[in-house]
Amino acid sequence: MAYENDSDLFPTAVKVLVAGGFGVGKTTFIGSVSEIEPLSTEELITAASIGTDNLAGVENKATTTVAFDFGRLTLDPRYVLYLFGTPGQDRFWFMWDELSTGALGAVILVDPRRLETSFEAVDFFERRGIHFLIAINEFDGAFRYDSEEVRAALKIGPHVPVVLCDARGDRSATSVLVSLVQYLLTAMSSHSA
Ligand SMILES: Nc1nc2c(ncn2[C@@H]2O[C@H](COP(=O)(O)OP(=O)(O)OP(=O)(O)O)[C@@H](O)[C@H]2O)c(=O)[nH]1
Ligand SMILES: [Mg+2]
């Protein structure tokens, strides 16, 4: 992993990105799992956003991330995750390269009502060779796709895990991160084999 210690005293630090399109629940996800007060950089969506940012489907959204979210979660005595949430709006794409430096893996959150908003995130991590999983954030009233339909829509391979979650629930969001770490460990051991 990123930082392997000789002793069992210190956990391995793993940098993870929580990414996805605008308004898919990234800030909510980090707020649910973080054991420290999450750093968030929310600003009110102002009239200036109208016409600049695509608010279709999230018309009731009042705030948006303008830099990044940060949180921390100790998964077990072995792994502590440092979580960085990307900003969702197109005009903050320049932040993504910076944020992804040193990241071992990513959660790509998907809003099942607006699958297309997460296409670019999939492209981004595929191009950089950063492992990711897809977490379908089951918003109330959203159509329930099965994971294979989402896999086909996002054109991702059979090795990429697709899981369901409720970003508002700490157990649900934690289990997404456990799945990601298991996937990373499997992927890394098959690379080194
Ligand atoms: N019903 C429901 N609402 C959710 C869920 N996750 C997030 N929300 C709501 O959806 C809205 C958007 O969530 P955010 O966490 O701000 O989304 P974001 O991806 O950080 O948004 P940007 O940073 O602007 O891209 C908020 O009002 C949340 O309360 C969910 O699982 N279910
Ligand atoms: Mg946000």
Q: Which ligand is nearest to the CA of 167?
A: 1
DSSP 50: B
pLDDT of residue 78: 92
Tell me the average pLDDT of the chain: 90
Instruction: Single out the residue of 131, 71, 140, 91 nearest to residue 111, CA to CA.
Output: 140
Q: Angle, to 10 degrees, between the axis of helix 170-192 and the axis of helix 26-33?
A: 90
Nearest CA residue ID for atom 10, ligand 1: 25
- Residues 4-31 have pLDDT tens digits of 555 467 889 999 999 999 999 999 999 9
pLDDT of residue 182: 96
Q: Say yes or no to pLDDT of 53 above 70.
A: no
Distance CA 117, CA 67 (A): 18
CA 139 to ligand 1 center in whole angstroms = 9
Distinct helix (H) and strand (E) counts, the chain: 5, 8
| Residue to mutate (ligand 1; options 22, 27, 34; most atoms within 8 A of CB) | 27
CA 192 to ligand 2 center in whole angstroms = 35
pLDDT of residue 50: 56
CB 18 within 8 A of CB 43: no
pLDDT of residue 52: 57
- Supply φ then ψ for residue 151, to 5 degrees: -60, -45
Task: Name every protein residue with a CB atom under 6 angstroms from any ligand 1 atom.
Answer: 22-28, 61, 64-65, 87-88, 137, 139-140, 166-168
pLDDT of residue 90: 85
Q: Which ligand is nearest to the CA of 61?
A: 1
pLDDT of residue 4: 53
- Which atom of ligand 1 lies nearest, measured to the CA of 109? 19
Question: Across-strand partners of 162?
Answer: 134
pLDDT of residue 49: 60
Higher pLDDT, 9 or 78: 78
| Residue to mutate (ligand 1; options 17, 22, 28; most atoms within 8 A of CB) | 28
- Residues 92-107 have pLDDT tens digits of 999 999 999 999 999 9
- Which sequence spans correspond to the domains of the chain? 12-192
Q: Say yes or no to pLDDT of 128 above 60.
A: yes
Q: Say yes or no to pLDDT of 55 above 80.
A: no
The CATH code for residues 12-192 is: 3.40.50.300
Task: Provide mean pLDDT across the span 40-45.
Answer: 90
| DSSP H or E run through 70 | strand 69-76
Higher pLDDT, 177 or 89: 177
